[in-house]
A and B are shown apart, each in its own frame.
Chain A
């Protein structure tokens, strides 16, 4: 039998400990979706597996919480999806086009414009949330997907990453394309976008998860219950603690678990692209 090396054992011990550390809270959540809400209030997380999972899941996904009866788990999942995808897509498209303009066109003040975009990293949404709200409100985009997505898609991060990537594309490729008669639009679509595939995938993961987890902005901008996203909706459920009503912990725990799944799936499916996009370039 092969001898076990101490270092291998140690490596695995660290990895296993790390995985447990990450996954235990989820397992606790899962346990708490199987027991009645009253028991959660009474004992907190425990080792008993109850029989409420089915019931909680049905309630969470298909029954409306709130007053208007329009925010079921499914509708919130849909809203979150639209926000996550729209957010990621918008950031990538806008970031790529901004980087394209900065890198490939002889603009006056291009460097200045880039650094201006870059400094917005220092001014996150929270700093400008009131003026942003004012503008969205003025444009009549409250409680719309546009209002949810558009104010968030200007992205210094995406612009920066794509700028760095575009700068590493060989100059000759641009010249060859010019001689081949590809104008600016054709060059962008035929050459740059396909070359950026892995980069786009990596950005998509980061941005999707980022968008999916947005809490403050959706809370501000959506007051109609049918526009609630998952992250915002979960809080809404637990918030109804008033008088003798027990919050629906089981239900919100199910939603919390559901909310974890799409980002995990995105990362699992795109992870090899993710690593490739951030570490190597396909040129």
Chain B
């Protein structure tokens, strides 16, 4: 059963700016969906529309089988975790977590019990009587999670919850959030601009650009079968290498070397993931390696292939040197895109 259903949801501001083009998708119960895209792509707007913090100007939104277009945020059976945590600075952790329940008229006893449960789940037991200002970033993040959990909502919303944390803590919280979501089995929508977060956490990724959905798919689908050059360039670090190529005699030609069989005629864009290249002394392609990035488990070779910059990913047991290197590519690893609109061929 679809827990969340968007039917042609769109957002147009009074000044005529269309922040979100009509969008439809469904989220199954218990699914962890990540909305990812560059800043200004409309992902936060979409999330805030689901939360009820922004008006929906067209379309229909259903949460748990109920149309909630005009329902107050508090009545939508959702909980939200904000980027800057949005904890109430004057309340203790205990009161922060229990505030939503208190407003719902839950009995004091029930609140205390639920808060204790949530605190135990999040290892916050020792901090319940502290104020948010006395907590570290990660702890504040957990309090924000606790505030969401006690409500026992039908839907969790996360608005870039990890972007205020340092890199190490971010990796740790990423796993914690994912584990918690698995354990509680709550349907979640998670907004981020960080494609690593999207890849590692999502059951399903929705890639957005300029107010439109570019692609919906599992992390693996989005990574290996990008629907457009935008997705290809946005997902993956380093991103997919994109080369303008020509089709001659049914073959996609990169410079004067054939890459793979072509389904179309004329100009195309060929996309190759950095790890799909192999260093191969007899390979057909010649790369001028200029910089080698040593990353421990693997290396990144940056340089040029013909007139285009290229990044190649090799494991650390392969010796690499700057200068000219021969490369080969498996034909089935090449993704072809329409050269004009960037759509996958």
B35 to chain A, nearest CB (A): 18
Across-interface contacts of A178 in B (CB, < 8 A): 52-53, 72-74
Inter-chain pairs besides A170-B86, A176-B86, 13 sampled, C-beta below 8 Å:
A172-B84, A176-B87, A176-B88, A177-B88, A179-B53, A180-B147, A181-B74, A181-B75, A182-B74, A190-B88, A190-B99, A197-B90, A282-B90
The answer to the question of B244 belonging to the interface, with a C-beta cut-off of 8 Å to chain A, is: no
Interface of A is mostly: helix
Q: Is the CB of B53 within 8 A of A186?
A: no
CB<8 Å pairs between A and B, sample of 16: A173-B86, A175-B73, A175-B82, A176-B82, A176-B87, A177-B88, A179-B51, A179-B74, A179-B78, A181-B74, A181-B104, A182-B103, A190-B88, A194-B91, A195-B89, A283-B89
Interface code A112-152, partner B: CB below 8 Å = 1, 0 otherwise?
Answer: 00000000000000000000000000000000000000000
Contact of A195 among B75, B86, B90 (CB under 8 A): B90
Interface residues in B, total, Cβ within 8 A:
24
Interface of B is mostly: loop
A194 to B96, CA, bound (A): 14
Contact of B99 among A170, A180, A195, A282 (CB under 8 A): A180
Summed over the interface, the residue pairs from A and B with CB atoms below 8 Å come to a total of 61
A199 to chain B, nearest CB (A): 13
The answer to the question of B247 belonging to the interface, with a C-beta cut-off of 8 Å to chain A, is: no
Across-interface contacts of A172 in B (CB, < 8 A): 82-84, 86
Across-interface contacts of B75 in A (CB, < 8 A): 181
Report, nearest first, the 5 A-B pairs whose CB atoms are least far apart. A181-B74, A172-B86, A180-B100, A181-B103, A176-B86
Q: Is the CB of A186 within 8 A of B51?
A: no
Interface residues of A in 166-204 (CB under 8 A from B): 170, 172-173, 175-182, 186, 190-191, 194-195, 197
A180 to B72, CA, bound (A): 11
A191/B100 contact (C-beta < 8 A), A178-B53, A180-B74 known: no
A88 to chain B, nearest CB (A): 22
Across-interface contacts of A175 in B (CB, < 8 A): 51, 53, 73, 80, 82, 86
The answer to the question of B63 belonging to the interface, with a C-beta cut-off of 8 Å to chain A, is: no
Interface residues in A, total, Cβ within 8 A:
19
Across-interface contacts of B104 in A (CB, < 8 A): 181
Contact of A179 among B80, B83, B84, B89 (CB under 8 A): B80
The answer to the question of B242 belonging to the interface, with a C-beta cut-off of 8 Å to chain A, is: no
Interface code B58-86, partner A: CB below 8 Å = 1, 0 otherwise?
Answer: 00000000000000111100111011101
A173 to B86, CA, bound (A): 5
Across-interface contacts of A180 in B (CB, < 8 A): 74, 99-100, 103, 147
A193 to chain B, nearest CB (A): 9
A170/B84 contact (C-beta < 8 A), A180-B147, A182-B103, A282-B89 known: yes
Q: Is the CB of B90 within 8 A of A194?
A: yes
Q: Is the CB of A191 within 8 A of B74?
A: no
A283 to B103, CA, bound (A): 22
A282 to B74, CA, bound (A): 27
Nearest to A172 among chain B residues (CB) is: B86
A156 to chain B, nearest CB (A): 27
A168 to chain B, nearest CB (A): 12
Across-interface contacts of B52 in A (CB, < 8 A): 178-179
B134 to chain A, nearest CB (A): 13
Across-interface contacts of B79 in A (CB, < 8 A): 179
B110 to chain A, nearest CB (A): 15
Q: Is the CB of B73 within 8 A of A179?
A: yes
B108 to chain A, nearest CB (A): 16
A173 to B99, CA, bound (A): 13
A194 to chain B, nearest CB (A): 4
A87 to chain B, nearest CB (A): 27
A63 to B79, CA, bound (A): 67
Across-interface contacts of A194 in B (CB, < 8 A): 90-91
A177 to B88, CA, bound (A): 9
Interface code B119-145, partner A: CB below 8 Å = 1, 0 otherwise?
Answer: 000000000000000000000000000
A170 to B83, CA, bound (A): 12
A180 to B82, CA, bound (A): 13
Nearest to A179 among chain B residues (CB) is: B73
A277 to B328, CA, bound (A): 68
Across-interface contacts of B90 in A (CB, < 8 A): 191, 194-195, 197, 282
A177 to B52, CA, bound (A): 13
A256 to B328, CA, bound (A): 97
Across-interface contacts of A173 in B (CB, < 8 A): 86, 88
A170 to B84, CA, bound (A): 9
Q: Is the CB of B74 within 8 A of A186?
A: no
Q: Is the CB of B89 within 8 A of A186?
A: no
A179 to chain B, nearest CB (A): 5
Contact of B88 among A181, A191, A197 (CB under 8 A): A191
A280 to chain B, nearest CB (A): 12
Q: Is the CB of A176 within 8 A of B80?
A: yes
A191 to B90, CA, bound (A): 8
Across-interface contacts of A283 in B (CB, < 8 A): 89
Across-interface contacts of B84 in A (CB, < 8 A): 170, 172
B80 to chain A, nearest CB (A): 5
A73 to chain B, nearest CB (A): 41
B323 to chain A, nearest CB (A): 53
Interface residues of A in 258-283 (CB under 8 A from B): 282-283
Across-interface contacts of B147 in A (CB, < 8 A): 176, 180
A181 to B83, CA, bound (A): 20
Nearest to A175 among chain B residues (CB) is: B53
A182 to B86, CA, bound (A): 14
Across-interface contacts of B83 in A (CB, < 8 A): 172
